[in-house]
Structures are given as structure tokens and as C-alpha cells.
Amino acid sequence: MTRHAFITGGGTGIGMAIALRLAADGFSVSVAGRRASPLNEVAAKIVQSGGKAIAIPDFDVTDAAGVEVGVANAIGQHGDVSILVNCAGEAPSASFDKTTLAAWNRVLAINLTGVFLVTQAVLPSIKRVGSGRIVNVASTAGLVGYPYVSAYCASKHGVVGLTRALALELARTSITVNAVCPGFTDTPLIDSAIETIVGKTGRTPEEARATLARSNPQGRLVLPAEVADAVAWLVAEGASSITGQSIAVAGGEIMTG
């Protein structure tokens, strides 16, 4: 029986890399997100490679009713979910005193409350399967602080806390809950950060990218596929004793322990 992996934010960046990797590992994949075009492209690529995938567009993780409909649609087509990857997120940049309440609420709604809503919607399905994995894509910003992204840091710290709490609630089941915490990763999200740096400092895009890469002791940006590799390990059979962990994928920038 093919296991079903449900991935939010699956149309681009890290979410896309995770979808492609899990499909290659034999999972049926549902990629959920707001924009149909990139989701359809990812699903088509998986199908063309011989895998099974469907796109779940118009999936807004802040809309509780819409989340329930999207999850039900995926289950109707692929069966109950055994793997949930919460990857949808936003990372706007602003100094604390220029962060509006609207911006704060939006970031927390997407990055933290979205994880809560999607996990609540999917968990009954995982319980019906009897075993499963929940992986939350957090960030090194969930482990330490960074300037000019106070809302993002707060939201990702919240995701790490939620991960730990739920892992303990489910510890006596066969369901594990973990987080991966990428450092600066070469995705469209980082392109937005680079644009901000260019606009505020006058540096070239190449200089801005190099600045972000220097935060990684390896001197480079993390690749989305490397984050996907970490997720693939966490959802594999051999990781059944790994739960409640927040694993930094950051080239040594953050040392957890």
C-alpha cells in the first residue's frame, strides 16, 4: 500500500524539493498551496516520472474551513495521510518599530496558526492509519534570534514549541513529530530577503547573497534538496525513535544539543 504524504507550500522552494523527494521514495504526494500553477507543475513532474501526485490549489493555511475541504479532497483521492509536512510560510523583513500589527498578525497566522490548523485537520487521518510522521519546517530563526524579522522569529519559535508539545502528547503512539530548521536556503524566499538588503544598503544582489552565505560556516546557502533529505530521513522507518526534535540544517551555523 502506497503511503500518502500531504505537503503544504509544496509548489516552490523547500516544499517542492520535499514533494519531489518523497515522491521519488514511493509516496503518493498531495501538494497544497494558494497558487495553482506551481502546484500543477510539481504534480505533473512527479506523474511524468512515474509517481503519484495531485495538486490542492486555493489552499490557504489561515482558513480553517478551507483547510478542512482541501485535506478531505486529498484523502478522497489518495487515501488517509500518513506523512504531513507543514512547509507554508512567509518571511517579511522590517525593523521592530516599523512592524505593523497587521504584518505581525499575518506572519503568525501563516507560519504558526497555519501549522496548528493543518495539523488538527490531518491528525485524525494519521491516527486512522495507525502510525505516521509530522514534520514542521521551522527555521534557525526558531532556535535563535535575528534582527529585522521579529514576527518571523516569534512564529518559528512557536512552531518549535508546538512541535515539542505535540510530540509528547503522541509519544505513546506510533506518530512522531519533529521540526527541521533550515538556515538561509537558496529559494524564492531568500530572493525576497536579498531584494530587501539591496534596497536598504545599496549593495548588489551578488554582495547581498554573499552576506547571507557568510552566516553559514560552510560559506554557502543551504540547498532545498538538503532540507528534503533531512525530511526523508525523519519520515523513514528508521527514525521511529526520533520525536520532539528540532534539527538545524544550516552548515553548523546553529549547534543544537
Question: Which listed residue (33, 152, 234, 251) is catalytic?
Answer: 152
> Hey, what amino acid is at 125?
S
d(CA 139, CA 159): 9
Residues with Cβ within 8 Å of residue 68, at least 6 apart in sequence? 121
Neighbours of 178 (CB within 10 A): 24
Provide the edge-to-edge strand list for the sheet that holds 132-137. 53-56, 28-32, 4-8, 81-86, 132-137, 175-182, 246-249
Degrees, nearest 5: CA angle 156-158-163: 95
DSSP string spanning 194-249?
HHHHHHHH---HHHHHHHHHTTSTTSSPBPHHHHHHHHHHHTSGGGTT--S-EEEE
Beta bridge partners of 30: 6, 54
152 catalytic, yes or no? yes
Cell 490542492, located at residue:
56
> What is the H or E stretch that residue 178 is in?
strand 175-182
Q: Could you list the active site residues?
A: 152
